[in-house]
């Protein structure tokens, strides 16, 4: 059913995939995306020609859009959209309102966080996670691209975890000295850029320069077609797109980023354990 994912997506997550591409779509693609988000049930009853007419685009454009977000075509997208609709209980779409009790607020905040994690599970390609884990395990040291305040806090938590694996991680440089740090990066090094929007000019320029010097570049961002992906060899995509009008998107951003980095760390720890077990087995075999 899916064209661009090596791993199966267990739940229908059309909404998550659309949100992941939405900021950088063409005007025609945006019309299709917004129509699906506004009229999911109606889309199930439309053929591709009818869908194209509703969005004022060609049938070929509808096909291109559905393949762009990861499906083999319009019919495959509708099949997964049907699962989305059937699986939803409606609670995840309730906004916090003036007058809500503390209990209602707590439930809605947790629901939003859960939804962000579920959507991230739909957009994160585990084959990319494995590639990132292998690259970082071989990094000596690991460099980070310049980051915003929120992402810098997440990076700090991740750097502390890496110490357990014996990996030295250089903290992200201040924007004003980023160009100086580039000269420290050598061919074969690994550089990690974390940007929710994926549109930070400083981070993008830093990764691009490091990539030209032969470094492997990794990005953790929220949008599958964000500008930062064009200068990254490995893409880790979250999906914290459904923000609350009261507290914005910050909570889902941090939770999704931390969850992906925890999954990355656990994957690395498992790889390191397997490597050490194999070395120990080979050593014992040699003694015999």
- Per-residue pLDDT for the chain (288 aa), expressed as one digit of tens each? 333 443 333 334 788 888 888 888 999 999 999 999 899 999 999 999 999 999 999 999 999 999 998 899 999 999 988 887 876 655 445 667 788 899 988 888 888 888 888 888 888 999 999 999 999 999 988 999 999 888 899 999 999 999 999 999 999 998 888 888 898 999 999 999 999 989 999 999 999 999 999 999 999 999 888 999 999 999 999 987 655 555 555 667 888 999 999 999 999 999 999 988 888 776 556 555
Same domain flag for 83 and 127: no
Same domain flag for 158 and 75: no
Where a domain ends, among 72, 90, 108? 90
pLDDT of residue 10: 35
pLDDT of residue 85: 80
Is there a domain that residue 262 lies in? Answer: yes
Same domain flag for 5 and 132: no
Same domain flag for 144 and 231: yes
Is there a domain that residue 109 lies in? Answer: no
Same domain flag for 175 and 46: no
Domain membership of residue 50 as a residue range = 1-90
Same domain flag for 175 and 39: no
Angle at 33 between CA 29 and CA 39, to 5 degrees: 140
Is there a domain that residue 96 lies in? Answer: no
Same domain flag for 140 and 272: yes
Query: Alpha-carbon distance 64 to 4, whole Å?
Result: 13
Is there a domain that residue 266 lies in? Answer: yes
Query: Alpha-carbon distance 239 to 254, whole Å?
Result: 11
Is there a domain that residue 225 lies in? Answer: yes
pLDDT of residue 6: 39
Where a domain ends, among 90, 106, 133? 90
Query: In this structure, what token pair is assigned to residue 9?
Result: 């997506």
| Inter-residue long-range contacts of 202-208, CB under 8 Å, 24+ positions, other chains counted | 202/145, 202/146, 202/175, 202/178, 203/145, 203/146, 203/147, 203/228, 204/228, 204/230, 204/231, 205/178, 206/145, 206/146, 206/178, 206/181, 206/182, 207/145, 207/231, 207/232
pLDDT of residue 8: 34
Calculate the CA 211 to chain-centre distance.
20
Same domain flag for 128 and 79: no
80, 81, 104, 106, 242 from 75: Cα distances, Å: 9, 10, 38, 38, 25
29, 100, 193, 196 from 237: Cα distances, Å: 20, 33, 12, 9
CB atoms within 10 A of CB 5: 18
Same domain flag for 18 and 144: no
Beta strands in the chain (DSSP E): 142-144, 169-170, 190-194, 216-221, 234-237
Is there a domain that residue 75 lies in? Answer: yes
Query: Alpha-carbon distance 170 to 236, whole Å?
Result: 20
Count of structural domains, the chain? 2
Query: Alpha-carbon distance 179 to 36, whole Å?
Result: 43
Is there a domain that residue 62 lies in? Answer: yes
Helix (H, G, I), strand (E, B) or coil at 144: strand
Same domain flag for 127 and 251: yes
**In this structure, what CATH number is given to the domain that contains residue 26?**
1.10.10.10
Same domain flag for 134 and 232: yes
Where a domain ends, among 65, 90, 115? 90
Same domain flag for 170 and 245: yes
Helix (H, G, I), strand (E, B) or coil at 95: coil
Query: Alpha-carbon distance 69 to 64, whole Å?
Result: 9
**In this structure, what CATH number is given to the domain that contains residue 220?**
3.40.50.10490
């Amino acid at each position: 059913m899916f064209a661009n994912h090596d791993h199966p997506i267990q739940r229908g997550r059309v909404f998550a995939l659309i949100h992941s591409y939405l900021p950088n779509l063409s005007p025609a693609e945006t019309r299709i995306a917004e129509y699906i988000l506004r009229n999911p049930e109606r889309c199930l009853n439309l053929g591709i020609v009818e869908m194209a007419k509703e969005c004022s685009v060609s049938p070929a454009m509808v096909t291109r859009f559905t393949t762009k977000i990861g499906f083999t075509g319009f019919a495959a997208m509708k099949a997964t959209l049907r699962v989305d609709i059937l699986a939803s209980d409606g609670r995840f779409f309730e906004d916090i309102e003036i007058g809500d009790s503390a209990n209602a607020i707590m439930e809605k905040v947790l629901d939003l966080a859960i939804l962000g994690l579920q959507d991230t599970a739909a957009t994160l390609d585990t084959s990319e996670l494995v590639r990132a884990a292998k690259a970082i395990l071989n990094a000596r040291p690991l460099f980070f691209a310049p980051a915003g305040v929120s992402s810098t806090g997440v990076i700090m938590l991740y750097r502390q975890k890496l110490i357990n694996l014996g990996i030295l991680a250089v903290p992200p440089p201040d924007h004003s000295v980023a160009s100086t740090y580039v000269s420290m990066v050598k061919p074969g090094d690994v550089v990690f850029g974390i940007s929710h929007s994926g549109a930070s000019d400083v981070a993008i320029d830093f990764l691009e320069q490091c990539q030209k010097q032969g470094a492997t570049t990794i990005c953790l961002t929220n949008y599958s077609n964000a500008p930062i992906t064009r200068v990254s060899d490995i893409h880790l995509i979250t999906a914290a797109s459904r923000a609350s009008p009261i507290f914005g998107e910050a909570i889902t951003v941090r939770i999704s980023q931390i969850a992906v980095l925890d999954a990355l760390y656990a994957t690395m720890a498992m790889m390191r354990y397997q490597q050490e077990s194999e070395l120990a087995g080979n050593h014992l075999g040699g003694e015999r």
